[in-house]
Structure 1
Amino acid sequence: MHSKERPERVRTLVVDDEPLARSNLIVLLGLHPEIELVGECGSGAEALSAIRELKPSLVFLDVEMPECDGFDVLEMLGRDLPHAVVFVTAYDKYALRAFDAGALDYLLKPFDNARFERALDRAKEKITQGRSSPRARESLVVKSAGQVSFLKVSEIDWIEASDYYSCLHVGTKSHLVRRSMAELDQELDQSIFCRIHRSTIVQLDRVRGLKLNEGGEYDVVLNNGTRLRLSRRYRAQLQSRLGSPGSWSES
Structure 2
Amino acid sequence: MAFQGTQKYIASADLQLAVNAAITLERPLLIKGEPGTGKTLLAEELASSLNVELIQWHIKSTTKAQQGLYEYDAVSRLRDSQLGDERVHDIGNYIVKGKLWEAFEAEQRPVLLIDEIDKADIEFPNDLLLELDKMEFYVYETQQRVKAQNRPIIIITSNNEKELPDAFLRRCFFHYIKFPTPDEMREVVAVHFPDIKKRLLEAALEAFFNVRDVPGLKKKPSTSELIDWLKLLVAEDIPAEALQDKDGKSSIPPLYGALLKNEQDIHLFEKLVFMARR
TM-score (norm 1): 0.26
**Greater strand share, structure number:** 1
TM-score (norm 2): 0.24
Choose 1 or 2 for highest CA Rg.
Answer: 2
